[in-house]
Amino acid sequence: MSSNIIEISGLNKTFRVGGKHEPVRALDDVSVTVREGSCLAVVGESGSGKTTLARVLVGLETKDSGEVRIAGSPVTASLRRREQRRRARAVQMVFQDPNGSLNRRLPVGAAVDEVLRAHFRLSAAERRARVSELFRSVGLTDAHAQSLPANLSGGQKQRVAIARAFAAEPQVIVLDEAVSALDVSVQAQVLDLLHELRRDKGLSYLFITHDLSVVRTIADDVLVMRHGQVLERGSVGDVLDRPRSPYTKLLLECAPKPGWKPRRGVIDHLNSEIAS
Amino acid sequence: MAIKEKAPAAALAAPAAPSNRLAAARRRLGWTGMACVGVVGAVVLAAVVGQFLAPYDPTVGSVTQRHLGSSAEHLLGTDQAGRDIFSRLLAGARTSLLGPLIVVGATAVAGSALALTAVWFGGKVDAFLGRVLDVLFAFPSLLLAILAVAIFGPGLVTASIALAIAYIPYSARVIRSVALRERSLPYVKAAELQGINGFTITVRHILPNVWTQILTGSTINFGYAIVDLAALSFLGLGIQPPEADWGLMISNGQESLQQGFPEQSLYAGLCIVVTVAAMAYIGERLGGRAAAGRSKS
């Protein structure tokens, strides 16, 4: 039991969309466990419930029923101050869009400093040292810490977001499409960084993505979701190489592979489109 | 535009030298803006030391000196009580600035506090504060001011605070709408997840991002406040004669105006127009800059 850092069981979440529509079941009896120090990738199409799962896990969304435990203690979307602080120390999140998740008027170093201020009793000098240590650990310098988000590149901003997530020294980091907005070479750098940090600090990741090649690079286990339900879970090798569920097979077929060419039929279809 | 595009070095050096700062201010405001700053600066200077510079006592006139035209002795002539208009304009700068300053300051502080509280807590708190503001909206601002003056007695401070209360709903509504958008941005959610408390997020994250709206709104309110305070003074509820005040001077000059001596009202009105226009231009420049900066990032 104690080896599972995240334990989610029987989680349900429904959204009401408009008045007349059927309520949408974003999460339908979802049970997930993440082993301590491992990385679980959650894959699925848009609307499969993977982001909702992440949001419930960090407390951005309330759950309808079910249980969420991180390191043995339950997580709630409580507004109570102590709850929030405790939750922040347990789980942090890196968002998809680094432009949105950083305050455009706050130097990025100050954004990280503020997290330290909220959680630790440190002097100004100690905090400054810690900020530059965190920045170095994600491959940035003190000069970067002084600048506003607008003066950093997308990859640098995402590194800042990662440094900020690490600042509270959480046990789990939820990465919601954290590398999807980055171009491929920067993506590889950030994935390397995440891998290194996990190894050094013994963290666990919940990695939300739709990119199967990213899954192979970083994850130990993978969870396939569709329509709010867990279709399949297992180690990366098992699921991606020997998929059992037909949906996973379809996902794998849709992913572009090396040497992939559009099939004959597709080309004919495109040609007829152009002709018309 | 060019300066703010990418200015890593300039942005990194936080405490700039005074000359750099002046140059930066000029780039921000343009030459017209700098001229406006000069105008406002001159009015502020008049408000502070004008009394001592005035060639005559602004409150004492002489019956034999009524309605004199411009001359070397009386730069802008004299009013119906034989008081030197130039001296009265200088002395009047103080109350003319102080009153609106109280109004604008109180409005900005209370309006932002209400708006940010409503936005942070949302839901029932937002709805409740919204209803309170609706009630305030229902009162015409001058009526509210007259009511306050009737209770607390006439005077600059009473009239200013009464006007501030009347202005709060307008300012709060604007700030709320801007803050609401900020509140919904992911960086606020991110800060919440980091375990930072609501007050800190509001003050350190949301407030700086709605600051330009508060500032722009304040410069606009400033113009309204000068005019409304003048109206209150005209009704005998604000500044009391023989104290000098631009608004009061306009209303005092009404009779003379009909008799063919427009100087007093004219010059006082000119002072108000120039000051308000300069404030409005600065506000617009700053507001426009902020909007441009936002759309870029």
In chain B, residues 197-226 whose CB comes closer than 8 Å to chain A: 197, 200, 204-205, 208-209
What pLDDT, on a 0 to 100 scale, did the predictor assign at position B114?
93
When CB atoms are compared, the residue of B6, B192, B200 closest to A151 is B6
What pLDDT, on a 0 to 100 scale, did the predictor assign at position A40?
92
What residues of chain B lie within 8 A of the CB of A170, using their CB?
none
For residue B297, name the pLDDT band (cuts at 50, 70, 90).
very low
Q: Is A102's pLDDT higher than 70?
A: yes
ipTM for the whole complex:
0.75
Asked if omega into B241 is within 30° of 0 (cis), the reply is no
Q: Is B241's pLDDT higher than 50?
A: yes
* pLDDT-wise least confident of A250-264, B176-190, B219-233: A250-264
Average per-residue pLDDT in chain A? 83
Residue A18 or residue B153, greater confidence:
B153
Strands A73-74 and A65-70, bridge-based pairing: antiparallel
For the ranges B84-88, B182-186, B281-285, the one whose mean pLDDT is highest: B182-186
* pLDDT-wise least confident of A21-30, A60-69, A114-123, B79-88: B79-88
For residue A272, name the pLDDT band (cuts at 50, 70, 90).
low
Of B97, B80, B86, nearest to B53 by C-alpha is B86
Of B72, B57, B70, B107, nearest to B220 by C-alpha is B107
Which amino acid makes up residue A47?
G
Residue A143 or residue A270, greater confidence:
A143
What pLDDT, on a 0 to 100 scale, did the predictor assign at position B8?
44
Q: Is B56's pLDDT higher than 80?
A: no
- CATH code of B75-296, in short, is 1.10.3720.10
DSSP state of B21: H
Burial label, A271 (beta-carbon count in 10 A; 0-12, 13-18, 19+):
exposed
What residues of chain A lie within 8 A of the CB of B196, using their CB?
114-115, 118
A143–B contact, CB cutoff 8 A = yes
Residue B190 or residue B285, greater confidence:
B190
What residues of chain B lie within 8 A of the CB of A157, using their CB?
none
Q: pLDDT over 70 for what percent of chain B?
A: 86
From residue B291, give the alpha-carbon distance in Å to each of A46, A103, B32, B208: 33, 16, 19, 14
Domain for residue A30, yes or no? yes
CB within 8 Å: B190 and A89: no
From residue A139, give the alpha-carbon distance in Å to each of A128, A145, A176, B251: 17, 11, 21, 68
Reduced to 3 states (helix: H, G, I; strand: E, B; else coil), residue A181 is coil
In chain B, residues 58-97 whose CB comes closer than 8 Å to chain A: none
Burial A56-74 (b: 16+ CB within 10 A, else e): bbbbbbebeebebbbbeee
Give the CATH number for residue A10. Answer: 3.40.50.300
- What's the domain count of chain A? 1
Q: Is B191's pLDDT higher than 50?
A: yes
What pLDDT, on a 0 to 100 scale, did the predictor assign at position B111?
93
For residue B13, name the pLDDT band (cuts at 50, 70, 90).
very low
* pLDDT-wise least confident of A194-208, A217-231, B6-20, B24-38: B6-20
Q: Is A64's pLDDT higher than 70?
A: yes
DSSP assignments along A20-61, one per residue: TSPPEEEEEEEEEEEETT-EEEEE--TTSSHHHHHHHHHTSS
CA distance A54 to A41: 11
CA distance A130 to A134: 6
CB within 8 Å: B193 and A85: no
CA distance A123 to A128: 9
What pLDDT, on a 0 to 100 scale, did the predictor assign at position B80?
72
For residue A259, name the pLDDT band (cuts at 50, 70, 90).
low
Domain for residue A116, yes or no? no
Count of helix runs (H) and strand runs (E) in chain A: 12, 10
In chain B, residues 8-37 whose CB comes closer than 8 Å to chain A: 8, 11-12, 14
For residue B268, name the pLDDT band (cuts at 50, 70, 90).
confident
CA distance A56 to A71: 16
For residue B112, name the pLDDT band (cuts at 50, 70, 90).
very high
Q: Is B239's pLDDT higher than 80?
A: no
Sheet harboring A172-176: ordered strands across?
A91-94, A172-176, A204-208, A39-43, A221-226, A229-235
From residue B62, give the alpha-carbon distance in Å to each of A40, A200, B58, B80, B286: 91, 89, 11, 9, 46
A145-195 pLDDT tens trace: 899 998 898 888 988 998 898 888 888 899 988 888 778 888 888 888 888
Give the residue-averaged pLDDT of A58-67: 84
CA distance A224 to B130: 45
CB within 8 Å: A114 and B208: no
What pLDDT, on a 0 to 100 scale, did the predictor assign at position B14?
45
Give the residue-averaged pLDDT of B46-56: 77
CB within 8 Å: B194 and A168: yes
The CB density around residue A263, as the number of other CB atoms within 10 Å, is: 9
Give me the residue spans of the domains in chain B: 75-296
When CB atoms are compared, the residue of A104, A118, A150 closest to B194 is A118
Reduced to 3 states (helix: H, G, I; strand: E, B; else coil), residue A12 is strand
- Write out the residue range of the structural domain in which residue A66 sits: 4-101+170-275
What pLDDT, on a 0 to 100 scale, did the predictor assign at position A2?
47
